[in-house]
A and B are shown apart, each in its own frame.
Chain A
Amino acid sequence: MLNNQGARTSLQVAPLTIQKTRGGPNGGSSDVVDSTNGCLDSQMTPPATPNSLQENCNEPVSSPVFHNFLRAFYPFHPDYVTSDSTVTLPLSEGDVVLVHSIHTNGWADGTLLANGARGWLPTNYCESYDPEEMRSLLKALLNFWDLMRSTLVNDSEMFGNQEYMKGIIAGVRYLLEQTQCLTRECALVQRHEGLRRSRKSLLSELSSLVKTARRLQDAQRMIGTEDINDVVDEMILKAFRIITKGVRFLDILDDDRRSRIPSVTVMTTLQEEVLIPLTPPADPASLSATQNYTTAAETRTSDCGEYSGPASSTGDAAQERVSCGSRLSSGHLQQSTNARRASQNSLLQTNRLSSTISHRVSLAGPSPCSQPQNLVSERLETCHDAFLSHLGSFIGRLQLQSQSRPSLAIAIKQSATSGGELLLVVDVVCAHTSVSVDALEQARTAMYNRIQDLVHTARDILSNSEPEMEEDVIVPHDNVRLLGAATGCVKATGECVAKTRWVIERIGDFEFEFDNGTLGIDFGLSDLASISEEQFQHSQPSGAESPSVAESIVSETATVSSRANSVTSATPAHARSFSIDKPLPEVPRVASPVSEEPMSHPSLLAVPQPQSFLFDGSNSSVVSSVTSLRPDLPPLPRISTTSLPTESYSPTEPSAIQEAEFHAFRSESMTATSSGSGSTYLSRDSESIIISQTSTRATTPDITQAPKTQPSLSNLSVSESLAPTDDDEAESRLLEKTYAHELIFNKEGQVTGGSLPALVERLTTHESTPDALFVSTFYLTFRLFCTPVALTEALIERFDYVGEAPHIAAPVRLRTYNVFKGWLESQWREETDREALVLIKEFAEHRLTAVLPSAGKRLFDLAEKVSVIDGALVPRLVSSMSKTSSSLAQLVPADTPLPATVISRSQMNALANWKIGGTSPSILDFDPLEVARQLTMKQMSLFCSIMPEELLGSRWTKFGGVDAPNVKGMSVFTTGLTNLVVDTILHFEEAKKRAMVIKQWIKISNHCSLLHNYDALMAITCGLTDTSIKRLKMTWDAVPTKRKDMLKGLLTTVDFNQNFKVLRARLHDQVPPCLPFLGMFLTDLTFVDVGNPATKTSDTGLTVINFDKHTRSAKSIGELQRFQIPYRLAELPDLQQWLATEVERVREKEKAGANAQATHYRKSLLLEPREAQQLRTPIDGPSVPIASSMFSWMRGNAGPSQA
């Protein structure tokens, strides 16, 4: 997705009819109606894919441009905003909105940065916001947001890794740098008071965010007891405010610049330099912002004209409108809107209070991508999150005042089950500590009691409820009890998990195999499990009135149900009061405040449509015909992601059936979104995926969570009063040099690109240990993207420039030293790295010694040593890349007795005889199992000797493989084996004998397969299916069917179809010892190398190293290394030697100059000549005599050897 941003320019607007339509307040002269009808039609028939939206467009953009940020151009305060159920976002002029998706009808789902509220807003009130100076910051916010929303990353990973904070800091720095306001002393800042203030306010906001982030880290370490969720929400809000302030800052600067335009000519050249045009002008010569905007509007309008009729007619208006004032001039206007917003805020505030509990709680349900988690800490997190989400969902339901009994029973069951799972984890941790931890035991008991309490309460309520009550609704009084019990659970659980984390940290994380799902497998917890089970049996019968519905709900994941809960409850209310049909409001006339009149619209009286109608073409066309009187846009898309206050809803509880329906609807919309066939939304893709699969985190941060409840621009004075130390610290952080903005991440937070300094910075980051894959990839592959000297220089530079930031200098310098140390100790490659040694020594002796004397000395000593000793000082593990404790654990223990060899005395004698020069035995003389074993041992020793660097940059394909002797050795042996198979079969004159050899090889390959030696399996089956062998009909007729079937089975394993699908699947789950097919890895590595460019372009236009490519190589190499573990089998050196000699013998034949293929084929033809009807000769037609035709294909061979 991020690559789309590269294509974005300020002139491109979302490929929708985002237009500044002007219409009268009453909005409907007949001609407008007509044209809009056409427009409606075109929009009601969604194109097959989002791409086709662009088809009519002349732009050569291959994918739709999606604007992540919009800025309100007009205030938008429809009356219904204030109604409880609405989710329309009120806008003030100048508000910046983070867009999540845009419906084709022109409504966008967005989050208002000013207060974090989320809702629908009309895109025609907005323009895209992406000024050059802000770009880095805006991008950082997107990353920040995506990370928060991502369920693939867990919290500790997320915020242990502070790169995203860095991104925002770097973004602010970039903004100030671009605007020449980096330091307080800048001429521009000194001159302009408003600018100075704005800058200061921005910085204090930043430092506030930094502090919050630190608090989050503390919370993670369990120093504080603060709820992490609150902190995360707060951080999001703060990040928003940074953007808001940044926008404000830019506005002031812009105003200032505009006001100075007339005087540009009299300015000093210095000042002129300062005046970089803020909006990238369409015409570089033009400095006037107004002109730029006009151009933009023109372009936009003409674009729009391609999609929809009415746009062109409004073009003039738009132009006119645009030209009267481009970016917003601050001042009084804002004042008034702020006042209004304040009142809204308080309203929203009360509304949102109730929804806070389930806010973020719901996010942690099982995501489809989550992998089996064996680490106990991970498990703890997962269970905790699952439990909380169940409880959260449950509590959310309680808020609705009414609760159907089946759903209550199910909710309780889910909660208790997940609670039991959590307790299981806690018990495992308890059992794992040698010293008993009293505090933890207590907390565990408390939690246990609470859960039991909850279950009992629920049971009581369920069994006591009066049978005559309709709908099996739980009375409000009971709700209070349930609520109390559930909140107690949440509290107790929080404490218990906190204690457990603390213990885990003390004793260290460990792996533990949890049996998923079955509570019965217990570690002292069966009591609870059985209790809960029993209780369910009590509660189930009473709650089982609608079992099928119950079933469907049980099958829902926690996330879905909790989200669905809040959403469903929102939807009916929304549909009732607000109508499904929702046109885009008309754009107001110049500066006049809008009063929307949708309430008077006839379609409002329409009965709410079935929930699925949005995705149902026929239904919606009905709607459109109903509403065709209006000059307006199609319906407002159903809100699927906005979390809404639940308290204010009418007490009619959506029944479980409705809920189930809604789930169906959800999944439908999911498909629509992901396949693009529905094309209902145009979204940032991460957004759409996350939205449809998981709940959202902090979609609407609760206002009360924010320390400053009035975050908008009006409180500049408030931030002014912040302590100056904050400011100073922010200043120093800003001035701290960083390359963080030169890194590119993927959605999982992995680095996929970056400049060398940025990568080095990442390698030596002080905030956290960089992840293992990154470090190993870097060490393994750095020589491919920079020279050792360049790396040394970058590291030294890092060592130097971090000195400007005293608070992080010490850890970073230590890490820099560690990188050097690791390089010299275990990654040094004398032949290439030698040239960097002088630099390293110099650095160690002087600069490093000056700061860290002992480290300097150590490094110097190391540098001295590497130049003397060839190779690594610290012997590298056979597999240094990906050998984890788990893979080592799979090794056969050393004391396991070796399997007995299968070789007879006579066979031994035959070999001994051969060794002293006697006749060579035949392959038929040996037991296939033993041949397979010795073959495997021989191959494995070759395979294990392959060094990772041989596999980099397609080295083995270059210069005849001199740089990759072991890869070459292995490949040559395998190829030789194939030829040996063919050679031994063709060796015999009689078909029966040949059949025996074939049979023998099939058996051998079968044993190879059982030994997981896929390399030999491939080689032998290739030999058996060679053209020269395959055509021997008489021979194959003599091979037993049983063996032929065996071969067929083996061939499916090594089938190359669908890119070795079968083999890859096998290798994926395979535990060593195993010998994979080397050729597959070589092909993979080759294509990673040639298929991915060396560099990529970042959003800011910088060309950076494509680290993703190297990560892929490293992963592939790591996968190969995973198997570099020897077999534990008894060696038979004589047999191995004989096999090697046989392979060598065949190879020698080849070397002698004859084409092995040709020789084999000729021999094959001699053994079993072509049958009469096969005499169609390849080249010369049937008239040529058989004898010559037989060899006619040989003619070509003369060519190459002579040439």
Chain B
Amino acid sequence: MPSKFSYQPCREFNVVVLGAGGVGKSCLTAQFVHNEWIESYDPTIEDSYRTQRAVDGRQVMLEILDTAGTEQFGGCHSAFKFPFASLTPSKVAMRDLYMKTGQGFLLVFSIASRTSFEELETLRDDIIRIKDDEDIPIVIVGNKADLEDQRAVDRAKAFSLSQRWSAPYYEASARTRTNVDEAFIDLCRQMLRRDDNPDDMRDDPYPLRADDPAAKRRRRKRRKEKCAIL
């Protein structure tokens, strides 16, 4: 763990939630941001998408960026497919802007939709291209885990993707509020770690140059261990 542990000011991070339309990512966001004791949720006010959490004893202020409601027309839909729309995820104008400011990304698919899973690949490419950074903190979320009987994406497939990207994978359900906080908090940890170690080196047992392939491989290996299922 980093040495500078105590009494740090509240960090602010932008988290971008991405995924095809209809995967319920906005539900995840709403679940995470929405305080349960607030009777009604008003998304039009300034801090509608801000939330402060304690992560490993440190206060983190998160701003969740979500283009919910605007990405459907190129997206894929588990129930109903358009002949061409599902194959070509069209870009939402806002998305690029969000990606640019994002420091962590939650890539969401629905375990009941294969196409939504496949779209993640493109999304990650866009992120890496826009951020010009391969190690950008990412968490993969298989949403709608409560719809086990409609599962269209095998766990194994998701795991293999998780390993390939060395990004943790969570199966979550916004409806039952399972693993929602966990996924976001995991992302926070990754962002905090990067923040503490700009070179991602400090906690490496074999300090090497950043672009050393061996170090990267090790780092990747380390991340691989983090996979969570329900």
Contact = CB atoms under 8 A, between A and B. Distances in A.
B interface: dominant SS: loop
A1091 B29 CA distance: 9
B92 A1092 contact: no
B91 A1157 contact: yes
Contacts of A1183: 213
A1199 B96 contact: no
B44 A1059 contact: yes
B47 interface: yes
Interface in A1155-1189: 1155-1158, 1161, 1176, 1178-1179, 1181-1183
A1176 B133 CA distance: 9
Given A975-B93, A1083-B69, A1086-B26, A1027 B129 contact: yes
**Interface residue range, chain B:** 35 or more
B94 interface: yes
A959 B87 contact: no
Contact of B118 (A958, A960, A968, A1199): A1199
B54 interface: no
B41 A1092 contact: yes
Given A1064-B44, A1112-B40, A957 B87 contact: no
Interface stretch (A782-790, A881-889, A1018-1026): A1018-1026
B198 interface: no
B120 to A, nearest CB: 9
B21 interface: yes
A1084 B90 CA distance: 21
Contacts of A1156: 90-91
B97 A958 contact: no
Given A1181-B211, A1199-B118, A978 B91 contact: yes
Of B74, B91, B121, B216, most buried by chain A (CB within 10 Å of CB) is B91
Nearest to A1179: B134
B69 A1091 contact: no
B72 to A, nearest CB: 4
Contact of B87 (A3, A971, A1023, A1153): A1153
B195 interface: no
Contacts of B43: 1059, 1083-1084, 1086-1088, 1091
A958 B22 contact: yes
Contact of B128 (A975, A1026, A1061, A1193): A1193
Interface in B39-76: 39-49, 65-70, 72-74
B130 interface: yes
Given A960-B72, A960-B77, A972-B73, A1027 B82 contact: no
A1156 B87 CA distance: 12
B124 interface: yes
B194 interface: no
A1027 B97 CA distance: 9
B129 A1161 contact: yes
Contacts of B125: 1158, 1193-1194, 1196-1197
Given A1018-B93, A1199-B118, A1116 B44 contact: yes
B51 to A, nearest CB: 13
A interface: dominant SS: helix
B134 A960 contact: no
A1079 B67 contact: yes
Given A1079-B67, A1096-B39, A1178-B132, A1022 B96 contact: yes
Contacts of B133: 1178
Contacts of A1096: 39
B121 A1087 contact: no
A60 interface: no
B91 A979 contact: yes
A62 interface: yes
Contacts of A1178: 128-129, 132-134
B77 to A, nearest CB: 6
A1183 B216 CA distance: 14
A742 interface: no
Contact of B90 (A957, A1085, A1150, A1196): A1150
Contact of A975 (B41, B68, B80, B90): B90
Nearest to A960: B82
Contacts of A1061: 46
Interface in B115-140: 115, 118-119, 121-122, 124-126, 128-130, 132-134
Contacts of A1153: 87-88
B49 A954 contact: no
A1151 interface: yes
Nearest to B42: A1112
A960 B84 CA distance: 11
A1059 B211 contact: no
Given A975-B73, A1178-B132, A1196-B125, 11 more contacts: A957-B22, A958-B79, A978-B91, A1059-B46, A1153-B87, A1155-B122, A1157-B126, A1179-B134, A1194-B125, A1196-B124, A1197-B121
12 contacts: A3-B37, A752-B40, A956-B72, A957-B22, A960-B81, A975-B91, A1056-B98, A1059-B45, A1059-B49, A1064-B44, A1088-B41, A1196-B122
